[in-house]
Amino acid sequence: MGLPAAQPRLTLAEYFEAEETALEKHEFHDGEILAMAGGGGDHSLIILNVMGELRNRLKGKPCLAYESNLRIRVPRHPYCTYPDGSVICGSRETDPKDKSGQTFTNPRLIVEVLSPSTEAYDRGEKFSRYRDIDSFQEYVLVTQTTPRVEVFFRQPEGTWLFAPYSGIEAVAKLRSLDITLPLAEIYAGVSFPPVEPEPVDPQPQG
C-alpha cells in the first residue's frame, strides 16, 4: 500500500496507543508513522480473491488466512506493517509490547499486491524486514497489470527459492502451506488490456 509523508517520530508504545483510536491505519518504521493509502478496484479484488482462495484451501489445516487489517511486527525491529494478506499457522503470537494484543509476530506466509508506487518498497526494504521474522517462510508478490505471481520460499539452509508464474492458466505452488493457487482464481473478475502484436519487419524485395 502507499506510504505518504511521515509524521513526527514516536516510540513504539506511543504508536500502539495512537493506532487504537486512529481513523486510518499507519505503518511504523523506526519511530516514524506512515499513513496507508487506499488501493484501487483491481487491487482490492485481487486481495479478496487471493485470501478467499487461501481460506478455502486451508480448511482442515492448522493455518488461518488474514486480510489487511491484521498488524504484523518484526520482533527484532521497531517495525510494524499491515500486509495485504498473511497466513498464521498454529497459535497467534502477540507482540508483548502491544498492550491491546492486536499485533502479531509469527506469520508463515505474507501476500503483497504490487502497485506502481510501492513495488520497489515491497520488493526491497519490506521483504528485507520480513526476512527477520523467524516463522516467515514464503512471500507472494502479485502483479496487478498482468497475470503474474512471484513466490519466494525460504529453504532449510536460509536461502530463498524464487518461482515465477505467468499467464492466466498458470498454477502457483505455495510450498509452506502445501497447496496450489490457480492464477485464474487470483485474477477472477480482473480485465487486462489486449496484448498488442509485435510489428513484423517487411521482407526485402528481390
Amino acid (1-letter code) at residue 76: R
- Nearest C-alpha neighbor of 30 from the set 67, 66, 79, 63: 79
**In the structure, what pLDDT confidence band is assigned to residue 1 with cuts at 50, 70 and 90?**
very low
DSSP state of 173: E
Q: 205 to each of 198, 199, 200, 201, 202, how far by Cα in Å?
A: 21, 18, 15, 12, 9
Give the separation between CA 186 and CA 88, rounded to whole angstroms.
Answer: 20
At residue 43, φ and ψ (nearest 5 deg) are -60, -50
Query: What's the whole-number mean pLDDT along residues 62-72?
Result: 96
Q: What is the pLDDT of residue 2?
A: 47
Return the pLDDT at 204: 60
What are the pLDDT digits (tens) for 15-57?
Answer: 999 999 998 899 999 989 888 876 789 999 999 999 999 999 9
Domains of the chain, first to last: 40-186 (3.90.1570.10)
pLDDT single digits (tens) 7-23: 568 999 999 999 999 98
What are 112-125's pLDDT values in tens digits? 999 988 899 999 99
- One-letter identity of residue 93: E
As a whole number, mean pLDDT of residues 129-152 equals 97
Residue 15, C-beta contacts closer than 8 angstroms, at least 6 positions apart: 26, 28, 33, 80
